[in-house]
Amino acid sequence: MNTFIATNVQNIEISGIRKFYNKVAGEKGVVSLTLGQPDFNVPQNIKDAMIEAIQENKTAYTSNAGIEELRREISIYLKEVFNIDYGKEEICLTIGGSEGLLSTFTALINNGDKVLIPTPAYPAYESCVKLLGGTVINYNLKEDFSIDFHNLKCIIAKENPKIIVLSYPCNPTGAVLSKDDRDKLYEIIRNNKDIVVITDEIYSSLTYGEDYFSIAQFKDVIERVVLVSGFSKMFSMTGLRLGYVCAVKGLMDNIMKVHQYNVSCAPSIVQWGAYEGIRSCLEDVEYMKNEFIKRRDFVYKRLINMGFEVNLPKGAFYIFPSIKKFNMRSEEFCERALKEAKVAVVPGSAFGKGGEGYFRISYSYSLEELEEAMNRLEKWVNTL
């Protein structure tokens, strides 16, 4: 059977997050903190707009790039909120950030091209690159999950990579890009004119500090920056599948070819929903963000009280405590937490080799669930 399967597909596996989630499904009475999915309902105005779009029969294909109305609003939103400049013609609506990532990688990667990916990181980057026959080269993060620039510069000098993936706010660490690090990255990108940046900013609406920093804020490198983002996390609509890619024309024309042959367009109804959302639901986003801050602070405090070494997340809805002092692999730690404490969390190793020695908690669950999980975890950790 396997002889039929393409080698590049044989070389990848289903995500470690899903694998663990599937294990949890077989256990009874477990509190699961495994999924990156907010527990809020989709804002009412978005639901209403989608219902209206159905009633008005807005169910045909849209243009490949998606409806102009929404692309125009995204362009305004990016400028006003993040100081990022992409025109509506430089934006393509995709089926989640996931399709945006794969379409972008497909448009850029030739067999053997080297792609720099942080470790730990969202697992899809590595799998997409392998699927396309590219070569993954990891760059390291420091203890506080910021970029190890010494390591990054050495790798770039030695390997001559074609692409660098940036991923802030970060799944799984909750780190955001600081101004200092953004400026250092800018110097590197400006001086290495053969490198294209793919910056995944799907959690950009969920940062807990004042300012937002992105490599896409620099106009003189923007012709080599592809921004991937979307609405899954922003509007708590993971199942509705809407994301977007931003890139200058030369890049976008080619990303669009892949997107066109793969999916034609993003779902029309959902595009109309997001169009309403971006105009009238930013207060809902603010509400969700404030709820996440409460949850983050609660989980962080409990973990600190349990004696975990852990960084305070500054974005997204994940926290990534160290388990190095327990002398256990992350897989073993999480298996035991599942069996003995009845708490499901994801092993750091699911996020690449840099994730070993950590586990990921998603705090996109209710405070009640988080409290129950923390109580159980505390009782169990005290026995280790």
Ligand X SMILES: Cc1ncc(COP(=O)(O)O)c(C=O)c1O
243 binds ligand X (CB under 6 A): yes
- Distance, CA of 232 to CA of 130 (rounded, Å): 25
**Mutual orientation of helices 44-55 and 268-280 as an angle, nearest 10°?**
140
Q: Which is nearer to ligand X, 318 or 342 (CB)?
A: 318
201 binds ligand X (CB under 6 A): no
Q: Which is nearer to ligand X, 200 or 276 (CB)?
A: 200
- Distance, CA of 2 to CA of 266 (rounded, Å): 32
- Distance, CA of 331 to CA of 128 (rounded, Å): 23
229 binds ligand X (CB under 6 A): no
HSE toward the beta carbon, residue 340, CA cutoff 13 A = 14
Q: Which of 38, 43, 66, 97 binds ligand X (CB under 6 A)?
A: 97
Pairing of strands 135-140, 114-119: parallel
- Per DSSP, the three-state class of 9 is helix
Residue 231: which of 203, 258, 268, 209 has the closest Cα?
A: 203
Single out the segment in contact with ligand X by CB under 6 A; choices: 93-101, 270-278, 326-334, 360-368. Answer: 93-101
Of residues 13 through 72, those in contact with ligand X by CB under 6 A are 36
> Which residue of the chain is nearest ligand X when measured via CB?
96
Q: Which of 38, 43, 96, 174 binds ligand X (CB under 6 A)?
A: 96
Single out the segment in contact with ligand X by CB under 6 A; choices: 21-29, 91-99, 328-336, 340-348. Answer: 91-99
List CB contacts of 187: < 8 A, sequence separation 6 or more.
Answer: none
- Distance, CA of 74 to CA of 90 (rounded, Å): 10
Q: Which of 232, 268, 271, 330 binds ligand X (CB under 6 A)?
A: 232
Of residues 120 through 139, those in contact with ligand X by CB under 6 A are 122
171 binds ligand X (CB under 6 A): yes
CB burial string 331-363: b at 16+ within 10 A, e below: bebbeebbeebbbbbbbbbbbbebbbbbbbbbb
Q: Which of 90, 126, 181, 200 binds ligand X (CB under 6 A)?
A: 200
Q: Which is nearer to ligand X, 243 or 277 (CB)?
A: 243
Least distance between ligand X and beta carbon 99 (Å): 7
Q: Which of 119, 167, 236, 364 binds ligand X (CB under 6 A)?
A: 167
Least distance between ligand X and beta carbon 17 (Å): 8
Phi, psi of 303 (to 5 degrees): -65, -40
**Site residues (CB under 6 A) for ligand X?**
36, 96-98, 122, 167, 171, 200, 202, 230, 232, 238, 243
